[in-house]
Amino acid sequence: MSFISESSQTRVPCYRVLEDDGDLISDCDFQQVSKEVAVKMYSNMVTLQIMDNIFYEAQRQGRISFYLTSAGEEAISIASAAALSEQDIILPQYREPGVLLWRGFTLQEFADQCFGNKADYGKGRQMPIHYGSKKHNFFTISSPIATQLPQAAGIAYSLKMDNKKACVVSYIGDGGTSEGDFHAGLNFAAVMEAPVIFFCRNNGWAISTNVSEQFRSDGIVVKGRAYGIRSIRVDGNDALAVYSAVSAAREMAINEQRPILIEALTYRVGHHSTSDDSTKYRQLDEIVYWKKARNPVNRFRNWVQNIGWWSERQETQLRNSVRKQLLEAIQMAEKTEKPPLSELFTDVYDHPPSNLEEQEKHLRETVTRHPKDYPSDISV
């Protein structure tokens, strides 16, 4: 009689291309990137970094209600997006604005969504950072954790049925793997042989819950084998490693019609969101270490600069330009009027039912009776 051991003698290795200082690891196999792609990747990482800083401060000033950053995880969304095709469908969690940025979502569009104005595609009905874009094949972010994974499996199966040369990519955090939808999504995709990449950002923390309290397994990557899914662990702070892994995963998912699981090891440098103070549950020196010694933006900059594709002059110009554009976008978003009250009741029913019409009537009467309790810039 022999039981399968609860764990392997050795941990699953982590695929890396760059050292922490940006030097190439010797004899490392990786997907080559052109100068154009590399410069765009780095520029987008810097743009995302600046966007996060300014929007975070805007929330602290009371100008928007909520925000969360991608600090420490910039390489994941940007590098993975660079390895995909525009036809690939994205089902995000909520820390992937870099994918939209790569695909051409403008700073003005980001600002309009965060301010919930008339130009927001969600018509002001979503929390800030819950972006979505049909044009960019980017499903609208929703707060419930892991619900996008079974959906991704189903969408990928539809691509398979239509013989499309595309795949689905669904992102999730390490905490989301404790949800039942994670297991349902992986099992469904494996059984149906759906072309989907499940991309897990293992950043160490599910809000205040450390990974040591989430699972006893060797991270997330080993969970793929349990469902018969090919898997890889990658350094999520290494842009070239992420780009190479996703490039290979996409090729396998489409050509072999199979799901792939990617676990990216990283660290959430910022607080979970503007509603969180992470210094209450983790050491400040731990945060500082990852922010400085393991910074993915600095790491990739060293590489592009060392091979002569980037300079200090370009760095200064980029940062000044992005900051200027973003401040102008925020000013424009603040000036743009809010959606009318009627938009709260549209886009669900073809013909609104009587109970919804009654609610709308009651709301209008309430606003009319108590005008000082409601924003004056909303059209009734």
C-alpha to C-alpha distances, 122 to 72, 82, 275, 338, nearest whole angstrom: 28, 26, 22, 12
Determine the pLDDT at residue 204.
95
CA distance 203 to 348: 36
Per-residue buried b or exposed e for 228-259, using 16+ beta carbons within 10 Å of the residue's own CB: ebbbbbbbbbbbbbbbbbbbbbbebbbeebbb
CA distance 110 to 99: 12
CA distance 296 to 239: 7
The terminus-to-terminus CA distance of the chain in angstroms comes to: 74
Helix (H, G, I), strand (E, B) or coil at 197: strand
Question: Can you read off the two tokens belonging to residue 307?
Answer: 């091979």
Determine the pLDDT at residue 7.
84
Determine the pLDDT at residue 378.
75
DSSP state of 25: P
CA distance 171 to 149: 8
Q: Which of the residues are catalytic?
A: 57, 143, 272-273
CA distance 115 to 242: 32
Domain boundaries, the chain: 35-335, 341-370
Q: Which parts of the chain register pLDDT below 70?
A: none
Which CATH architecture group holds 35-335? 3-Layer(aba) Sandwich (3.40)
Among 31, 14, 49, 68, smallest CA distance to 264 is for 14
Residues in the chain: 380
CA distance 212 to 199: 20
pTM, rounded to two decimals: 0.95
CA distance 72 to 272: 12
Determine the pLDDT at residue 377.
74
Whether 240 contacts 37, CB under 8 Å = no
Question: Can you read off the two tokens belonging to residue 321?
Answer: 């330009």
